[in-house]
């Protein structure tokens, strides 16, 4: 049994209605664990069980996903929580067990191992401004998905009602005017027209909600002081998504780490004298999508991105290769913009820094020191973090 004053890591594999935990000392000795419900009674039982180790830190897998609900509850109770990326815990599970089989207990063990061994795990903070942005940008994306689905259904119906169907870029007003010219006489045709009219009415409501959501996002983004919307191809949704997913740009030592994280950095696939790179399908796909939209918008206009794309094509690159190169270039621009915003916010905003500036693991057993911007083979270490300006 470890000394009650020794710092321990409580690794957690979270689910919707239950969590599995494992308590691990700095020497990786397993001290305890168990499975608890996430209701009020189960959460209290878990805290009562963990109270026997006063000096503890919670390492939770996926605090931006399924682990967020329990991480926020622990923060509200005053506990220290660090986020364990699922990829790190998956690697630890394979190395610890020799295979990739998953159980809740092995997942909790791998999370505890990462929390004990790895330096620079991101502390979880309860930033209300980012929480509001996350809710609004998720809602805005769902509205966009609804719009796409309804437009597809409407096109299918109009194709059956009108020879040749409607044009590709169809607004609700245009669809309504087009439908007014259709007077089917058969029962199936009348049903199609009625359903199409209902879809158009739904589209009008979605348009109004999207407009209101964009307006609210713009107001919140203005309060953060971000300059991301000044970049060609980034709108309110893209800027909000970047702030929400990145959270603190200073956690990336350099732009190469940021590009690797968002999946725009190519993967080296060289062998012998054959030097080549291939597309990375890893990384944060939501941020990769934002960069892809940014690149697409720039290609449609006379921009520096369009000129860069044309230069790469002239060098012999294919369209896909030039597109990948453009996305990487835009990733570098976004990184610099967010870093400049963070430095400016630190200089002009509220004093102090958010999170821990210590380059150590969760247990404090393996301190590490690296220079900012130095390439490292392991995980990125913690850098001084600059908070976004809070809403007054």
**Mean pLDDT value across residues 310-339:** 94
Return the higher-pLDDT residue of 360 and 279: 279
Which residue pairs from 45-53 have beta carbons closer than 8 angstroms and sit at least 24 positions apart in sequence? 46/19, 46/21, 47/77, 50/10, 50/21, 50/23, 52/4, 53/2, 53/4, 53/8, 53/10, 53/23
Q: Which CATH superfamily is domain 8-118 in?
A: ATPase, nucleotide binding domain (3.30.420.40)
Q: Residue 49 has which token pair? A: 């069980």
Q: What pLDDT shows up at residue 4?
A: 60
pTM tops 0.75, yes or no: no
**Bridge-based pairing state of the strands 8-14 and 56-61:** parallel
Highest mean pLDDT among 89-93, 128-132, 186-190, 382-386: 186-190
Lowest mean pLDDT of 112-121, 126-135, 204-213, 268-277, name the range.
Answer: 268-277
Provide the strand spans (E) within 255-379: 267-268, 277-278
pLDDT > 80? residue 387: no
**Mean pLDDT value across residues 139-158:** 93
pLDDT > 50? residue 370: no
Q: What pLDDT shows up at residue 99?
A: 63
Lowest mean pLDDT of 35-39, 209-213, 380-384, name the range.
Answer: 380-384
Q: Where are the domains of the chain?
A: 8-118, 128-224, 229-348
Helix (H, G, I), strand (E, B) or coil at 155: helix
Confidence band for 319, pLDDT divided at 50, 70 and 90: very high
Give pLDDT tens digits for 36-61: 999 999 999 999 999 999 999 999 99
Confidence band for 273, pLDDT divided at 50, 70 and 90: low
The residue among 34, 21, 29 whose CA lies nearest residue 2 is: 29
Question: What's the mean per-residue pLDDT of the chain?
Answer: 84
Task: Give yes or no for a contact between 81 and 71, defined as CB atoms under 8 angstroms apart.
Answer: yes
Task: Give yes or no for a contact between 24 and 6, defined as CB atoms under 8 angstroms apart.
Answer: no
Alpha-carbon gap, residue 62 to 81, rounded angstroms: 12
Give pLDDT tens digits for 12-39: 999 999 999 999 999 999 999 999 999 9
Give pLDDT tens digits for 231-242: 999 999 999 999
**Mean pLDDT value across residues 128-144:** 90
Lowest mean pLDDT of 137-141, 185-189, 315-319, 376-380, name the range.
Answer: 376-380
pLDDT > 70? residue 73: yes
Task: Give yes or no for a contact between 275 and 266, defined as CB atoms under 8 angstroms apart.
Answer: no
pLDDT > 50? residue 389: no
Q: What pLDDT shows up at residue 148?
A: 93
Give the rounded percent of residues in the chain with a pLDDT score beyond 70: 84
Q: What pLDDT shows up at residue 277?
A: 64
């Amino acid at each position: 049994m470890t000394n009650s004053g020794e710092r321990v890591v409580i690794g957690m594999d979270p689910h919707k209605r239950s969590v599995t935990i494992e308590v691990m000392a700095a020497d990786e000795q397993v001290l305890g664990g168990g499975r608890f419900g996430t209701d009020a009674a189960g959460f209290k039982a878990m805290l009562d069980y963990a109270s026997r180790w006063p000096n503890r830190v919670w390492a939770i897998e996926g605090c931006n996903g399924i682990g967020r609900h329990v991480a926020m509850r622990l923060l509200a109770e005053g506990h220290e929580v660090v986020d364990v990326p699922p990829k790190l815990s998956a690697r630890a599970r394979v190395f610890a067990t020799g295979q990739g089989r998953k159980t809740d207990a092995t997942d909790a063990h791998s999370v505890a191992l990462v929390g004990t061994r790895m330096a620079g795990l991101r502390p979880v903070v309860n930033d209300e401004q980012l929480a509001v942005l996350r809710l609004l940008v998720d809602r805005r994306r769902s509205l966009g998905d609804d719009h796409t689905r309804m437009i597809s259904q409407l096109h299918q119906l109009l194709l059956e009602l009108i020879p040749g169907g409607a044009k590709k870029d169809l607004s609700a007003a245009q669809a309504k005017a087009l439908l007014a010219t259709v007077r089917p006489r058969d029962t199936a045709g009348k049903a199609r027209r009625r359903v199409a009219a209902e879809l158009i009415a739904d589209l009008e409501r979605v348009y109004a909600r999207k407009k209101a959501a964009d307006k609210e996002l713009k107001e919140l983004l203005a309060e953060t002081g971000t300059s991301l919307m000044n970049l060609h191809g980034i709108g309110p949704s893209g800027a909000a998504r970047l702030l929400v997913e990145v959270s603190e740009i200073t956690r990336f030592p350099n732009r190469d780490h940021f590009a690797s994280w968002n999946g725009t950095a190519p993967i080296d696939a060289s062998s012998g004298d054959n030097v080549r790179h291939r597309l990375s399908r890893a990384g944060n796909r939501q941020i990769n999508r934002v960069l892809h939209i940014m690149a697409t918008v720039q290609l449609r206009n006379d921009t520096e991105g369009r000129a860069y794309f044309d230069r790469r094509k002239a060098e012999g690159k294919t369209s896909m290769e030039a597109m990948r190169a453009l996305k990487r270039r835009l990733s570098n621009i976004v990184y610099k913009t967010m870093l400049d915003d963070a430095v400016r916010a630190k200089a002009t905003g509220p004093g102090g820094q958010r999170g821990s500036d210590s380059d150590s693991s969760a247990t404090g057993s393996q301190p590490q020191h690296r220079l900012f911007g130095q390439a490292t083979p392991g995980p990125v270490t913690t850098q001084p973090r600059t908070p976004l300006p809070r809403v007054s």
